[in-house]
Amino acid sequence: MRILVVGAGSTGGYFGARLAQAGRDVTFLVRPARAEHLRLNGLQIISPHGDVTISPKLVLAGEIVAPFDAVLVTVKAFSLEAALDDLAGAVGPETMILPVLNGMRHLNTLVARFGKNSVVGCVCKVATAVDDRGRVVQLTKLQELAYGEMSGDRSLRTDRLDEFMQGAGFDARLSQTIEREMWEKWVLLATVGGITCLMRANVGDIASAPGGVESSLRFLDEVLAVVTAVGKKPSEVFLTDTRALLTEKGSTMTSSMYRDLQKGAPVEAEQIIGDLVANARCARITTPLLDAVFAHLSIYQSRIIELA
């Protein structure tokens, strides 16, 4: 099996490097500046599971000459539209597209461009960042990739995919409930991202502040109300674990959106929070905390654009 990883940043770089390290046939679709850096320095991973540097197989936009068996899409959600033309040559009739973008809007975008059969559900759980030396730094030990047919059915192609992913240095799992897991990830990202960005603090600091626990749980309740109305209701196990995570004093957990905000980088405000607000309006659900966070991040995003 041949896989194209779209992007060699924090997420694509991590999972792609682990697959390549395990001897899988991996090619990275990257921009010219990133390609130059990787050719000079290699793709470097700094991780509690062991550091590694690989010499990645790279391709630029316009250089793809044949379809791949699978395409792992790891760009930021706001960069997806721009990436579609770049990756189009990699998609053939049998290609599986595995998006690990945040939110759910990207599914409609990919289906509209490549067809429903091309898209396979996918969820990644990893905390990584690219440092000022261009290295992918894993921030916690968590490293999981789950995938499966959106219908929940088993298939020969996802069985092959699962065989390809196993034993590659991270936790890989074929799921028959992948759509629900994608909605659950959105719940977690929106809640943790929303409260950490709004309060400019990590989960532990928020939980220790007066009213912090109550605010976090109310925020979760708003997100859950929207997701339950328009998507797949999360499992009780997920909800129990999420409430415990949000109320853990001493936790240093933040979100990628908060880390991007701290760096002055663009954030996925529209995709992670804005889509929930829009769905809440359609479902006639009142979401004052979600509204406040979306307004806050929209102001931040507009200032980033003005300074660019």
CATH number of domain containing 244: 1.10.1040.10
Q: Which of 176, 199, 228 is the last residue of a domain?
A: 176
Q: Mean pLDDT over residues 238-265, rounded?
A: 94
Contact by Cβ (8 Å): 95, 117:
no
Q: Mean pLDDT over residues 169-195, rounded?
A: 97
How much is the pLDDT for 78? 87
Whole-angstrom distance, CA of residue 94 vs CA of residue 92 = 6
19 and 122 share one domain? yes
Q: Mean pLDDT over residues 214-226, rounded?
A: 98
Tokens at 40, concatenated? 């000079």
Q: In the predicted model, what is the mean pLDDT of the chain? A: 95
165 and 192 share one domain? no
**pLDDT-derived band at 304, boundaries 50, 70, 90:** confident
Q: Which of 176, 211, 240 is the last residue of a domain?
A: 176
Q: How many helices (H) and strands (E) does the chain have?
A: 13, 10
110-124, 175-189, 257-271: which range is least confident on average?
257-271
**pLDDT-derived band at 74, boundaries 50, 70, 90:** very high
- The dihedral region occupied by 150, where left means phi > 0, alpha psi between -120 and 50, and beta the remainder, is alpha
188 and 287 share one domain? yes
How much is the pLDDT for 279? 96
223 and 113 share one domain? no
49 and 128 share one domain? yes
Q: Mean pLDDT over residues 84-108, rounded?
A: 96
Given a cut of 80, whether residue 305 has pLDDT beyond it is: no
Longest dimension (CA), the chain: 58
Which of 85, 82, 87, 81 has the alpha carbon at shortest distance from 67? 87
* Residue % of the chain over a pLDDT of 90: 95
Q: Which of 143, 176, 209 is the last residue of a domain?
A: 176
Q: Mean pLDDT over residues 9-13, rounded?
A: 96
34 and 170 share one domain? yes
94 and 196 share one domain? no
How much is the pLDDT for 178? 97
160 and 187 share one domain? no
Measured CA distances, 127 to 88, 183, 278, 279 (Å): 28, 19, 28, 27
Given a cut of 90, whether residue 22 has pLDDT beyond it is: yes
Which of 24, 16, 82, 65 has the alpha carbon at shortest distance from 44? 16
189 and 289 share one domain? yes
Given a cut of 90, whether residue 115 has pLDDT beyond it is: yes
| pLDDT 10s digits, 258-293 | 999 998 999 999 999 999 999 999 999 999 999 999
User: Range of 134's domain?
Assistant: 2-176
- The dihedral region occupied by 104, where left means phi > 0, alpha psi between -120 and 50, and beta the remainder, is alpha
Measured CA distances, 211 to 199, 201, 214, 218, 295 (Å): 12, 14, 5, 11, 21
CATH of the domain at 84: 3.40.50.720
How much is the pLDDT for 92? 97
164 and 57 share one domain? yes
How much is the pLDDT for 247? 96
Whole-angstrom distance, CA of residue 131 vs CA of residue 139 = 11
Number of domains in the chain: 2
* Residue % of the chain over a pLDDT of 70: 99
How much is the pLDDT for 308? 54
Whole-angstrom distance, CA of residue 172 vs CA of residue 165 = 6
Q: Mean pLDDT over residues 147-167, rounded?
A: 97
Q: Mean pLDDT over residues 43-51, rounded?
A: 97
Whole-angstrom distance, CA of residue 124 vs CA of residue 147 = 9
Given a cut of 80, whether residue 131 has pLDDT beyond it is: yes
Contact by Cβ (8 Å): 138, 127:
yes
* Residue 200 backbone phi and psi in degrees, to 5: 55, 50
268 and 248 share one domain? yes
Given a cut of 90, whether residue 240 has pLDDT beyond it is: yes
Q: Mean pLDDT over residues 233-244, rounded?
A: 96
Tokens at 88, concatenated? 């189009």
- CB neighbours of residue 12 within 10 Å: 26
How much is the pLDDT for 80? 94
Tokens at 4, concatenated? 């194209």
Q: Mean pLDDT over residues 30-40, rounded?
A: 97
Enter the pTM of the model: 0.92
165 and 39 share one domain? yes
